[in-house]
Amino acid sequence: MEPWVQDAVGYIRSWIEFQMRTTQQPGCITAITHRGKVIAEFAFGEANIATGEKLTPRHRFRIGQLPRS
């Protein structure tokens, strides 16, 4: 893998962490691919706000899913 890719992955993780704090979103899962292979997966926040269950990359969402009103 090219050296810049790992730097980019680190930046993306930091940017998402910042966005999660700024927007107070309950959770976010991100997968990053490079040349057809998953090179990083991150989970931020909680899967269940009521219980405090932490979100993991194994939890699944629809892409771009918004909370129900």
Domain of residue 41 covers: 3-54
Residue 62 in any domain: the answer is no
Residue 65 in any domain: the answer is no
Residue 63 in any domain: the answer is no
Instruction: Give me the number of domains the chain comprises.
Output: 1
So what's the pLDDT on residue 22? 92
Residue 9 in any domain: the answer is yes
* Structure-model confidence comparison of residues 12 and 68, the more confident one: 12
pLDDT in tens, 1-39: 788 888 999 999 999 999 988 998 888 888 888 888 999
> What values do phi and psi take at 47, rounded to 5?
-80, -30
pTM: 0.69
Q: Sheet holding 53-54: strands in order across?
A: 27-34, 37-48, 53-54
**22 SS3 class:** helix
Give the residue-averaged pLDDT of 54-59.
92
So what's the pLDDT on residue 63? 72
So what's the pLDDT on residue 43? 93
